[in-house]
Amino acid sequence: MTSDIVIIGAGIGGLSAAAVLLQRGHRVRVYEQAPALAEIGAGIQISANASRVLHKLGLERALSSVAVTPTAFQYRLYSTGELLQEMPLGSVHESAYGAKYYHLHRADLHAALAAIVRELDPRAIVLDAAARHFSETRDSVTVQFASGATASGDLLIGADGIKSAIRSQIGGATQAEFTGYVSWRAIVPSSRLPPDFMERVCTNWVGPNAHVIVYYLRRGELLNFVGLVEDESWRDESWTVKSPWANLKADFAPWHPNVQLLIDAMDKDQCYRWAMYNRPPVTGWSSARATLLGDAAHPTLPFMAQGAALAIEDGAILARALEQASSTSAALDLYQRSRYERTARVQRGSNDLGKLYHLRTEQELRQGFATRDLSKERGSWVFSYDPWSAPLGGEPGEAVPA
C-alpha cells in the first residue's frame, strides 16, 4: 500500500521515518515549524536496535566518520571512582547484536538524516510550517498550519515531540508529573583535558541523589557532560535555558577529581539546565488516518538512552505495517499493537534505573549494582531487537497494560 504521507516534525524521529518511507516508495512531506533545520548541542547514544535501521538507510559510512564507537559503559562510584559494573560495547556489542553502538553529536545524526531524505526527494522537507490542528475524512487527512496553509495526504504522522499538537488532538492533554530530577548539560573540547583523562568509554558516575554521564563525541574531539540532581526548585522543561556555572559546580562539589576537571573545563556561559517530567505510557496513539511517533507517542526519561532509538524503530515498524495491512486504519492499529508493549517497558525501565542511579548511600549503591546485571538485562530485549524482523501486532485492539 503506497501512500501520500504528511509528517509533522523534522527531528530525528520524523526524518528517520521519512527516509524509511521514501525508500519504500511512499510520497512524503515533512513539515517543520523552525525556519531552518538545527539540533541542540548535545550527545546521543544509538545502540544496535536503532543503528541497524540507520545502516539500512545507507548511513553507516557517514555515521562512522563522525561518531565514537565506545568500548564499554562503566558505572563508577562518585567519590572514589570504584568500578561498580561494566557493560561491554564496541566489537562485543556489534558481534552480539549485528550492528554498532554509536556516540554521536545530535547535530551530526540530524544532518545525516536530513541529507538522505533530501537525496531521496529534494522537496521532502518544508520549513517554517507550524502545525495547529488536523481534520479527517474517509479518504484523506488535512493539516492546518499557523500560516493558514494546508497539507493533505493519506496518512498523518505526528513526530512533533513531547508537546505535540497532533497528540493533543488525538488523545487529549496528557498529565506530566515532575520527577524531581533536574539535568545539567554541557560540551567540552577534549583538548582542554589531560590526554589520559578517559578511555573511549561512557562513564556513569553514580552518587547519592545524583549521577553524571560522560562520553566522547565527534571522533573524540568533544566530551558530552550530563549531570542529574534532585531539585524541587527548578521546573523549566526547556532544553535551551542556561543556568550559572557556579550552581552546577556547587551541585557536584564533593565528586571525584575527574568530574571536577571536566566541570572546570566548561565554558562558563554554556551550561544548560532543564527539569524532567514523567509521562506514563498511554494507549490511543491513532485515529483513522493519523498516528504518533517517538516522544509524541511514548516520551521516556533518558536513563536507558533509548528515546531516539525508539523513535527510529517506530519508523521501520510503521513502514512494515503499511506494507502488511489492507488499509491505513488497519496499518495504524497494527503499528500501535506492535510498539506499545516495548515502548512502555522502556518507559518503566528508565524510571527504575533513575532510582538505582540515585540510591542514598555508597553502600546502597554497591549493593544495588551487585544485584543487577545491566548488560544481560539490556542485551536480552533492548539491544537484540530487530525492527526489520520483529513480529508485528497482538490481538486487534489489544492494549498491553502498563
Q: Please list the active-site residues.
A: 215
Q: Please state the three-class secondary structure of the chain as a single string.
A: CCCEEEEECCCHHHHHHHHHHHHCCCEEEEECCCCCCCCCCCEEEECHHHHHHHHHCCCHHHHHCCCECCCEEEEEECCCCCEEEEEECHHHHHHHHCCCCEEEEHHHHHHHHHHHHHHHCCCCEECCCCEEEEEECCCCEEEEECCCCEEEECEEEECCCCCCHHHHHHHCCCCCEEEEEEEEEEEEEHHHCCCCCCCCCEEEEEECCEEEEEEEEHHHCEEEEEEEEECCCCCCCCCCCECCHHHHHHHCCCCCHHHHHHHHCCCCCCCEEEEEEECCCCCCCCCCCEEECHHHCCCCCHHHCCHHHHHHHHHHHHHHHHHHCCCHHHHHHHHHHHHHHHHHHHHHHHHHHHHHHCCCCHHHHHHHHHCCCHHHHHHHHHHCCCCCCCCCCCCCCCCCCC
Residue that has been written with the C-alpha cell 505526528 in this structure: 158
Could you give phi then psi for residue 13, rounded to 5 degrees? -65, -45
Could you give phi then psi for residue 283, rounded to 5 degrees? -100, 180
Count Cβ atoms below 10 Å from residue 24 Cβ, excluding itself: 15
Q: Cα(355)–Cα(303) distance, rounded to whole angstroms?
A: 10
Count Cβ atoms below 10 Å from residue 389 Cβ, excluding itself: 9
Lookup: cell for 58? 545507507
Residue 324 near residue 24, CB atoms below 8 Å: no
